Each structure stands twice: as C-alpha cells, then as structure tokens.
Structure 1
Amino acid sequence: MKWNKRNKIIVFIVLSIILIAGMVLIYTQSRPTYQNPIGEMTDIGDPYVLKVEDQYYMYATSEPHVGFKVWQSDDLVNWEEQVELAYDHELQEDKWAIGDFWAPEVIEYENQFYMVYSAREYIGSLKIAIAVSDSPLGPFEDVAVDIIPEEGSYIDGHIFIDEGSGQPYLYYVKDNFENIIDGDHVSQVYVREMSDDLLTVEGEETLLLTPDQSWETPYGEYQWNEGPYVLEEEGTYYLMYSANYFASPLYAVGYATADNPLGPFEKAEENPILSEDVENGISGPGHNSVTVGLDNETLYTIYHMHTDPTEPSGDRKVGMDLIYIENGKLIIEGPTYTEQELK
C-alpha cells in the first residue's frame, strides 16, 4: 500500500475519532452519578443536608421518641450512619419533651452549629427548640426551648440568615393539631425575626402561607402548608413548602416569592414543582431542603418519599434532584428515578 497524503489524512482522522471516543468513554465512566433513592436510609422523614468543607451531614426525623440520627458522606450518595445520635434528649439537663422529635435542621453560625427542631412537651403541645454543638456530628445540647411565646403547637422551624442584612429569621408552622380555623384543622407557615444569638424570636409573627391552591386540597377538614425552606437570589426570596398529608401520594412541594423575607409571599401558578410519579416508584415527595453539590455551586434539593409507593406511610426514604432558578421561576428537575449526573 502506498502511503500518499490522502491515506495519511484518513488514518489521522480515524485515530483522532478513536482517541476522542476513548476520552469521552473515560469521562463518562469516571464522572459521579446518583440514582434515587440515595443512601440506604428508610423509616425517616424531613431530611436536611449540611455541607461543611468537603463533608456532608444529613439529619432527619429518625428517632422520634428520643432525638435525631446523623449520617455522614463525602459524595452526597453513599451515607454512613453514625453510632451516636446527633441529639439525644436523654442526655439533656432539662428533659422537657416526651417524644415526637421532628424535622431537625442544622446551620453553621458564628463558629458553632445550631439545630432547630420540634418536639412534644409534657402538656401535649408541639414546641420549637434550639440546640448547639461545636461539631456537626453533635452532641447537640439544648440552649432554648419553647421559643415561640404564643400558645399553640409549632413545628418545622427553619432558620434563614439574610446575606444582605445579616438578619436571622425563623420560619415555622402552626400545626393543625391545635390551629383550628372555622372548624378545620389548618397548618400555616409563619415568620418572625430572631435575635442575633438565635435563641429568641422578636416582634410580631407574620402569616405567610395558608392552604389555598387547588392541589393543596384546601377544602378538607385537615389541611397542610408545612416544611418551609427559603432561598434568595438577586433580591427575590423563594419560600418552598409542602402541602397535603405526609402519608399521602399527593404530598408535594410548591413555592412562593417575595421581595422581603417577611413577605407578603405570592404562590407560583405552576405549583406543585415536585410531585408524585407512582408509576416509576415515587410517592409523596416533599419536606425538602437544599444543599450544594460537589462543585460547591450546583444546588440540589433533598426530600423524602415513601419507601413503599404502593402503601404510603411514615416510612420514607431520601431523594435528591437538581434545583435552580430560571427567569424568576424555581425549577426542580425531578423527581427522577434513573441515573443522573452529579455535579
């Protein structure tokens, strides 16, 4: 065979294609991925993920009679349950609660870690408390309990620190266990400012959300807007929440927007933005939080869904999907059930 210029060009092109294909294959095989559900956790609810340096910490409703478990991961996908509870009520000096330890969230603030959670006190009402630790693994110790001064049952505390002003806010829910409006039991989302030490609330409470969109079944005897979580971008505040009964396939996530952390918030017409896909094994996705990906830029929402989609219950597992803001709208690319790239 005579190696003329044309043959050399053809061989060069073929080898280049093979080389590029090999590089693409290597990249595809090496890039991190995830597939819902993540981890092996079951019988949990209300998952919250905090990233500290290169480690992730997950807290959830998990030991409702005594406190909260914590899991650790370096890749958001593979999780290791820690031996010790992050919060153990039996170790507290003031054993103020009798159970129903729900919805823990942990933030890093002024070189310490603050956990906000709710539990049921001895007289029967649900109350919000603050616990502090020097480590995201705990142990967390109570520093303030029953921080909402008004009578009633309160759950799902969410602390949001406004980057612009540095002002902390507490978003929370008046639970429909005691919040009765015109004969209906209604869970509603409220907000109020917090003190700089995160131990007390200040000023009057402001009602932000009540079940009023058609997908939220606002006509039932029991109604829910719960699980608040706030993101801010370019002066707009995005308040996510979950509606409907947590053990129903219809449990789902919506959001509302405002130009002030205190509202007023307007619910999005396109709600819900995360909802069931029972045919593909996803039922009741909700009570979400948000964390950053491996690149420290891409946002992912963490949520629970029913472990058995054919028999929804309080037994739930963890899902994760991409979340972002586009043209002023909050978008969740999910719920997914196939393998996804992890950024």
Structure 2
Amino acid sequence: MTSFLKSRKTIIILPIVLVIAGAGLLFSFSFKEKTVSYKNPVGGMTNIGDPFVLKTDGSYYMYATSAPTIGFRAWQSDNLVDWEEKGLVYDQENQAKEWASGDYWAPEVIHYQNKFYMTYSARNEKGHLQISIAESSSPLGPFKDLSTEIIKQEGSYIDGDIFIDDDGTPYLYYVKDCSENIIGNTHVSQIFVQQMSNDLKTLKGKPQLLLQPDQEWEGLDGDYQWNEGPFVLKHDKKYYLMYSANFYGSADYGVGYAVSDNPLGPFEKAEENPILKKDLKKGVSGPGHNSVTTGPDGKTLYAVYHTHTDPEAPSGDREMNIDKLYFDNGKLKVSGPTRSDQKITLGGK
C-alpha cells in the first residue's frame, strides 16, 4: 500500500542586485527559494516505530520497526514530507540462514564503502534479543545478513547505531536490554560502545558502558528503567549521544542527550534533559527513539522521531515526526515537538 501526505509548496522571491565595478552597469535578478509545508505527524504511516532516515543521492529513505514478524519495510521521499512505501527491504525468508523467530526491531542504515549496511535486532531461537548487521548494494535492498552474532556477551541486545568518525573509524553503540539485564532488583537498559572492524563484521576491545538511567526524569523509582535508542552525531569536535528514556509505550517516553570529547566516552548527560518530551495539550505522547538527517537545503538538521498514534492509548502503534535540530553554545536543541504548520527549505535554482 502506498501512502502520501499532500504538501503545500511556497516560492519565496529574494531580489539580488549585482554591480560590476568600473563598468557602470547594474543588473538585478531574482533567486527563487522553494519550501514545502507540513504538519506533524508526517508520512501517513501508522503502526511503525523507531524511525531512521538515511539521505543518499538526493533521496531520503526511512526504515522503521514495521513488519516485526518477518523483517523491515522502507519508505522513500525527496523532501522529508511526502513518503511512498517501497515494501520489504529485509525479509527473513530470503536469508541464507533464518536465525530469528521474530521481534524485528529498530533498523538503521548507513552508506559505507560503496555499500549499504543495516543494523537491527531480533529474537533468536534461544529467546534472546540479538543484533545483526546486513548489507545491500541498494538502499531499498534486498538486505542480506552479514554478521548475525556481532555481540559475543551473554544477554539481550538491541538498538545498534553505527557511527563513522571523521578518520573513518566505525563504532557500534548498542543497548544491553533490561529484559535480561538485572542490577540488584531492577531491570535496567544500558548503552554501550565498541569500535568495529573496517568490514563491520566484528567488534574490537571491551564493551564500554556509557549511559544508564540516573536522571530524575528517567523513571528512577520503577522496577524497569531504560536508556535506549542511541544515535551519535559530531559537532565542533564533540560527540553528542542522543538517547531515549522510559517505556516506549508510555506518554513519558522522551529524548535526552550526553556529550563527550571521545567517541568511547565518558559521556556527560545534559542538565536540561529531556529535550523532547510529551505535550498532551498538543496531542503529543511519547516522543522518542530518534535519528538525525540533513534537510534538502543541505544544511538544516532535522530530528526524526516517533510519537503515539493515539495519545489516549499509548502503545506500539506510532507515527513519524520531524522537527528542526540545532546547536546553541554547545547545547543540542530541538524545535519541538510541534503540531503547527512548519516549513522545509528545498533550496533554489
């Protein structure tokens, strides 16, 4: 099924005057800047979660928890607003070895060394959640498993995020899931990192614990606590680790971030967390599990995240949202969550 969200396009005409020195000539012409208007949620898709957007070759591709019993679907757009479903891009039946029984969650895709690599988690035959790396020559797949047991430690692991540093070094950020990670009497989800081999098949060194719930907004009085959904970006030589806290099916699911001078940490959480949180008066429930992409103008950053489709009945039924992300004196900020009309600059010609 193909789903679209109709958009309103605006043209802004900016006069520009050019003077040629010494020639006594004056020319004037206009620069047309196109924009597209939207209102969250975007895309028209429901029953998805954990949206991740890849920008490559002038197009956007969105991957999400979308077909949890068999694999992952993808959507394509040229403007971040109007999306077309492209079908299954990872199908368990098309793998050389069908290792998972279901719970296909949180896919992310990067373009690296002329191929596309997907990280995802699923439940193995022993009942543990397990992270896998799959590859394809196209952002629309088909993705085939490359390394299905990249994490060797016991337990359940989810939410793999591959970050490639400026020097080309790859790192895998991931979550030790609270379903099996019990500290004292509390089930806790923690975020770890390890360097990857250049072929993305194996991990190097020991797991480095980066984040675990320790801020008041993260539900510290609960028997289950979460820091999950890591996404790393770099700005002015600092590393920003965005993450989600609280239960994904709760209105209190939200986004925070931490900062470090090193991709392996230590990371310090921002005092102003959370930077995305519920606003039930606007109808916003559970904004979380985000990724970040660059707008069509090539410079504006956008946070991509999900919210609950029905704020009065929070659940795994979620929708995609986008809002501007920016840095202000070293602090990471999101202009959202919004439910009013917004505009995306498409660039001029």
Give your verdict on TM over 0.5: yes
**SS of equivalent residue, structure 1 residue 273:** coil
Q: Deviations over 1:271-308 (max 9, x none)?
A: 00001111111100000000110111111010000000
**SS of equivalent residue, structure 1 residue 278:** coil
Quote the offset at 1:30 in angstroms.
5.3
Residue of structure 2 equivalent to 1:311: 313
- 1:144 correspondence with 2:147: yes
Q: Hey, what's the Cα distance between the residues in 1 that align with 2:290 and 2:146?
A: 26
Q: For 2:179, which of 177, 189, 192 is the aligned residue?
A: 177
- 1:70 correspondence with 2:74: yes
- 1:81 correspondence with 2:105: no
Which amino acid in 2 is paired with 1:111? N
Q: For 1:101, which of 91, 97, 104 is the aligned residue?
A: 104
Quote the offset at 1:31 in angstroms.
2.4
Quote the offset at 1:29 in angstroms.
11
Q: TM-score, normalised on structure 1?
A: 0.91
- 1:47 correspondence with 2:58: no
Residue of structure 2 equivalent to 1:90: 93
Which amino acid in 1 is paired with 2:337? P
Residue of structure 2 equivalent to 1:135: 138
Q: For 1:196, which of 195, 198, 213 is the aligned residue?
A: 198
Quote the offset at 1:75 in angstroms.
1.1
**SS of equivalent residue, structure 2 residue 281:** helix
Q: Aligned runs of 1:171-320 on 2, under 5 Å? A: 171-320=173-322
Residue of structure 1 equivalent to 2:22: none
Quote the offset at 1:28 in angstroms.
11
Which amino acid in 2 is paired with 1:93? A
Q: Hey, what's the Cα distance between the residues in 1 that align with 2:72 and 2:149?
A: 18
Residue of structure 2 equivalent to 1:11: none
Quote the offset at 1:27 in angstroms.
10
- Asked if structure 1 preserves the Cα contact closer than 8 Å seen for 2:251 and 2:311, the reply is yes
Q: For 1:117, which of 120, 123, 126 is the aligned residue?
A: 120
State the number of aligned residues.
Answer: 319
Q: Hey, what's the Cα distance between the residues in 1 that align with 2:157 and 2:328?
A: 33
**SS of equivalent residue, structure 1 residue 56:** strand
Q: 1:338 to 1:121 in 2, by over 3 A?
A: same
Q: 1:29 to 1:238 in 2, by over 3 A?
A: closer
Which amino acid in 2 is paired with 1:200? T
Q: For 2:165, which of 138, 158, 162 is the aligned residue?
A: 162
Q: Hey, what's the Cα distance between the residues in 2 that align with 1:90 and 1:325?
A: 43
Quote the offset at 1:150 in angstroms.
0.6
Q: Hey, what's the Cα distance between the residues in 1 that align with 2:173 and 2:328?
A: 24
Q: Deviations over 1:176-221 (max 9, x none)?
A: 0100000110000000100000111110000000000000011210
Residue of structure 1 equivalent to 2:65: 61
Structure (1/2) with the larger helix percentage: 1
Q: Hey, what's the Cα distance between the residues in 2 that align with 1:310 and 1:29?
A: 40
- Asked if structure 1 preserves the Cα contact closer than 8 Å seen for 2:71 and 2:90, the reply is yes
Stretches of structure 2 lacking an aligned partner (at least 5 in a row): 1-11, 15-29
Residue of structure 1 equivalent to 2:18: none
**SS of equivalent residue, structure 1 residue 290:** strand
**SS of equivalent residue, structure 1 residue 86:** strand
**SS of equivalent residue, structure 1 residue 114:** strand
Which amino acid in 2 is paired with 1:297? K
Q: Hey, what's the Cα distance between the residues in 1 that align with 2:321 and 2:141?
A: 24
**SS of equivalent residue, structure 1 residue 32:** strand
**SS of equivalent residue, structure 1 residue 65:** coil
- Asked if structure 1 preserves the Cα contact closer than 8 Å seen for 2:248 and 2:316, the reply is yes
Quote the offset at 1:23 in angstroms.
5.5
**SS of equivalent residue, structure 1 residue 224:** strand
Residue of structure 2 equivalent to 1:6: none
Which amino acid in 1 is paired with 2:75? W
Give the fraction of aligned pairs with identical amino acids, expressed as a percent. Answer: 60
RMSD of aligned alpha carbons:
1.6
Q: Deviations over 1:242-267 (max 9, x none)?
A: 00000000000000000000000000
Q: TM-score, normalised on structure 2?
A: 0.89
Q: Deviations over 1:317-341 (max 9, x none)?
A: 0000000111000000000001112
Quote the offset at 1:108 in angstroms.
0.2
Q: Hey, what's the Cα distance between the residues in 1 that align with 2:45 and 2:170?
A: 31
- Asked if structure 1 preserves the Cα contact closer than 8 Å seen for 2:13 and 2:33, the reply is no
Stretches of structure 1 lacking an aligned partner (at least 5 in a row): 1-21
Quote the offset at 1:223 in angstroms.
0.3
